[in-house]
Structure 1
Amino acid sequence: MAARTAALLCAVVLAGGLPQPGATARSRPGPTEAALPVPDRIAVLYREATAASARFEHAHRKADRQRSAVARTQRAVSRGKKRLRRQHLQLGIVARSQYQQGGWSPGTQLLTSRSPDSLLEKLRAQRQGDRAFARLLRATRTTQHRLERNSALGRTVLRRLKANEARQERAKHTVEVRLALAKRRLHRMRAARVARAVGPVTRTAPAPPAVAVPAVMPAAAPGGCAYSPPSGNRAKSARSGKQWVTPVSDYVLSAGFASSGKRWAHSHTGQDFAVPTGTPVHAVGKGTVVSTSCGDAFGNQIVIRHPGGYYTQYAHLSRIHVRRGQEVATGELIGLSGSTGNSTGPHLHFEVRVTPNMGSGVDPVRWLRERGVRV
């Protein structure tokens, strides 16, 4: 009975699949959605959360480009200010020299000349000085205009960056709200099923919702939550000098993000790395372990929070080598691959999420490649 219930819940969550990034999320279910059965309403919430996750990722990439543009304009403004100060200093030197020499008027030059040759030399020097002064003045004006243009551009890009960051925060808030509402509805639906099964007198606390990954629900691999700290010092990867790495070595990419097939109700929520059982699994970047759990469709799993607001998940593990709250370094050994939970064979299921919860995933391969990791 429990296995059939879990299978139904898993099928419910991903029944709608992944939406297009341009899809919009509503703050409240409309009349049409309110008339839907509870499983379909839960599927709508997950679709909206996935669409908001895509918007968050798009805004995040755009914000990175805008930050680079802001940095470039700030460097250009700094260089322009330094150049302008040098040119103003040169103009001051020329003006003081002209004042000390009594100006460059022909009458002054004639009175101070001892011979015609000296007068011609002074006039020639005057013309050269005039041309040099005119060039310096033009360069100063050009620098001033360029500085003003770069300053205005910097202010514009900064305004766009702040607006984009606000959109990014709104998208993340939408993800969190939709997933929280879907979780509450799953709890109520699960509790209602249990109440109908055991009768109206017995009261049981609602169990956590089943994670929607495979549609086919094979028996969970034995072993349960197997925490086993590594012997000696915590093992580090040889690649730990890098900022980001792949979660495993010597792998074959199998099921990809948003792929579909008979193993899932509609689409896949992460990237699978086909590796033998017992393969070392490493943290792709430094961060903090926010959860370790077992017993659902993901089996033994770890979720890590990274700087920048992203989370990574490592599922179907045979062993867990870290605890909640533990700080991990890039490339640090966190567990061993396996086939626990709803898995048809040994592999690592890897996700990148906007929040720690399922339903907020983004494409893991693209995410890693954007951080310089060859996958």
Structure 2
Amino acid sequence: MRPSRRHPLLVPALLCALAVLAARPTDAAEKKAPGDGGTDAGISAQVARLYEDAAVATQQYEAGRLEAEAQRAKAQRLEALLDRERRGISVLHEDLGRIARAQYRNGGDLPLTAQIILAGSPDQLMRGQQVFSQTNLAVNNAIEKSRRAEAKLAADEAEAATAWQSLEKRNVELADLKRGIEEKLEEARWQLQGQADASVAAGSCRGAVRLDQPEVQVTAPWVTPVETYELSAGFGSGGSRWANRHTGQDFAVPIGTPVRSVGAGRVVKVSCGGAFGIEIVIEHAGGYYTQYAHLAAVTVDQGDQVTAGQWIGQSGTTGNSTGPHLHFEVRVTPELGSGVDPVPWLAARGVPLG
């Protein structure tokens, strides 16, 4: 976009926007944590870090995009002010021409001796001199005002153009940074999935990967199993991939998405074979169990106590799965076949899904 002469005068607002966007997210993908280098724990940790970095980069990119849209809206509203200023300068130029013509008609171009000779009386001479002085003053004022207006317009447009170029450049940088992190994250996700598939094929679970999850205070006793999601196959729905009906609620999420325990409880099962691929089952108070299946990695061991919102694994597409998602079940026993619909069960605990 070329800013040229179509941008507003309120440049400070643009400069403030650039200051807000000055902080760049840490490109953690370029840093290796202890244990990185192809190990199971390393790739899981890398995915987790990149997942967080991608979220930060997306937030900053969206903030920059919204700020640019807001400034463009201001430009449209304030364009009228620039047009008015340009029209004012045009009027000043017309006034200068009119004053010059009036001065000529009133004899302003005649020498004083000629004016004395041509004057019919002293009064006429004095009146002519008074008009001449007023005309000269008006001309000088008009010229000075026109020069100031033109200089201000030029300075405002130049400063606005510079600010817009800086904002556009910053938004391009944010977009490139976001795209770069997402590309690294996608590559790391499939490396993680490859390791998970190898474990399932071998029938040997890799064990818990201890990840440093962010310090997020979860005050509610129940939460969704993933933070951001789209609901896909629901409880009881039909399909060729299920022997009878779908026994849980699917959450469509990318590989490597942190999976959370929906409530406090104890891990009673961690396995990595069969139709569910890598799965976790947690026992909660009240006689209910929750299952998390098709995972790419687990971060807990059997027997661990967990809290609501605690990371227990990373989503994937292991087992009988057509694509990356989390299969979530609520059961009255630890075993398959005792499931209840997770959507009303969570809603009754203050966690509506939508």
TM-score by length of 1: 0.49
Once the two structures are TM-superposed, the CA of residue 266 in structure 1 deviates from its matched residue by: 5.5
User: Which of 25, 39, 49 pairs up with 2:27?
Assistant: 25
Once the two structures are TM-superposed, the CA of residue 87 in structure 1 deviates from its matched residue by: 0.8
Give the equivalent residue in structure 1 for 2:144: 138
Contact 1:42–1:182, Cα closer than 8 Å, also in 2: yes
Cα distance in 2 for residues equivalent to 1:43 and 1:294 = 16
CA gap 1:61/1:297 in 2 versus in 1, 3 angstroms: farther
CA gap 1:348/1:171 in 2 versus in 1, 3 angstroms: farther
Q: Which one has the largest radius of gyration?
A: 2
Once the two structures are TM-superposed, the CA of residue 197 in structure 1 deviates from its matched residue by: 1.5
Q: Deviations over 1:76-107 (max 9, x none)?
A: 54333221111111111222332344425433
Give the equivalent residue in structure 2 for 1:96: 101
Contact 2:51–2:257, Cα closer than 8 Å, also in 1: no
Give the equivalent residue in structure 2 for 1:128: 134
Give the equivalent residue in structure 1 for 2:167: 161
Contact 1:25–1:48, Cα closer than 8 Å, also in 2: yes
RMSD (Å), alpha carbons: 4.0
Cα distance in 2 for residues equivalent to 1:138 and 1:53 = 51
Give the equivalent residue in structure 1 for 2:90: 85
Q: Deviations over 1:234-268 (max 9, x none)?
A: xxxxxxxxxxxxxxxxxxxxxxxxxxx9322369x
- Residues 186-225 of structure 1 correspond to what in structure 2 (within 5 A)? 186-197=192-203, 209=255, 211-216=257-262, 219=290
Q: Secondary structure at the match of 1:219?
A: strand
Contact 2:189–2:255, Cα closer than 8 Å, also in 1: yes
Identity, in percent, stands at 20
Contact 1:91–1:136, Cα closer than 8 Å, also in 2: yes
Which stretches in structure 2 are left out of the alignment for 5+ residues? 1-22, 206-252, 263-281, 283-288, 293-305, 313-322, 330-340
Cα distance in 2 for residues equivalent to 1:188 and 1:147 = 62
Cα distance in 2 for residues equivalent to 1:48 and 1:294 = 20
User: Which of 281, 302, 308 pairs up with 1:263?
Assistant: 308
Cα distance in 1 for residues equivalent to 2:346 and 2:191 = 23
Cα distance in 2 for residues equivalent to 1:212 and 1:156 = 42
Contact 2:96–2:142, Cα closer than 8 Å, also in 1: yes
CA gap 1:147/1:209 in 2 versus in 1, 3 angstroms: closer
Q: Secondary structure at the match of 1:24?
A: coil
Cα distance in 2 for residues equivalent to 1:108 and 1:140 = 32
Contact 1:297–1:342, Cα closer than 8 Å, also in 2: no
Once the two structures are TM-superposed, the CA of residue 70 in structure 1 deviates from its matched residue by: 5.1
Which stretches in structure 1 are left out of the alignment for 5+ residues? 1-20, 200-206, 222-260, 268-292, 300-317, 319-337, 351-375
Give the equivalent residue in structure 1 for 2:4: none
Cα distance in 1 for residues equivalent to 2:78 and 2:153 = 10
Give the equivalent residue in structure 1 for 2:349: 345
Contact 1:297–1:341, Cα closer than 8 Å, also in 2: no
CA gap 1:192/1:35 in 2 versus in 1, 3 angstroms: closer
Give the equivalent residue in structure 1 for 2:65: 60
Give the equivalent residue in structure 2 for 1:181: 187
Cα distance in 2 for residues equivalent to 1:210 and 1:41 = 10
Cα distance in 2 for residues equivalent to 1:97 and 1:81 = 25
Cα distance in 1 for residues equivalent to 2:102 and 2:152 = 28
Once the two structures are TM-superposed, the CA of residue 347 in structure 1 deviates from its matched residue by: 3.4
- Residues 294-309 of structure 1 correspond to what in structure 2 (within 5 A)? 296=326
Cα distance in 2 for residues equivalent to 1:77 and 1:111 = 50
Cα distance in 2 for residues equivalent to 1:298 and 1:70 = 49
User: Which of 51, 61, 64 pairs up with 1:46?
Assistant: 51
Q: Secondary structure at the match of 1:264?
A: coil
Once the two structures are TM-superposed, the CA of residue 40 in structure 1 deviates from its matched residue by: 1.8
Cα distance in 1 for residues equivalent to 2:254 and 2:78 = 50
Cα distance in 2 for residues equivalent to 1:342 and 1:191 = 31
Q: Which runs of 4+ in 1 moved over 4 A?
A: 26-32, 68-76, 340-344
Once the two structures are TM-superposed, the CA of residue 343 in structure 1 deviates from its matched residue by: 7.5
CA gap 1:176/1:145 in 2 versus in 1, 3 angstroms: same
Aligned length: 222
- Residues 295-334 of structure 1 correspond to what in structure 2 (within 5 A)? 296=326
User: Which of 141, 148, 152 pairs up with 2:154?
Assistant: 148
Give the equivalent residue in structure 2 for 1:11: none
Letter of the 2:47 counterpart: I
Contact 1:87–1:136, Cα closer than 8 Å, also in 2: yes
Q: Which deviates the most, 155-164 or 207-216? A: 207-216
Cα distance in 1 for residues equivalent to 2:138 and 2:61 = 55
Letter of the 1:84 counterpart: I
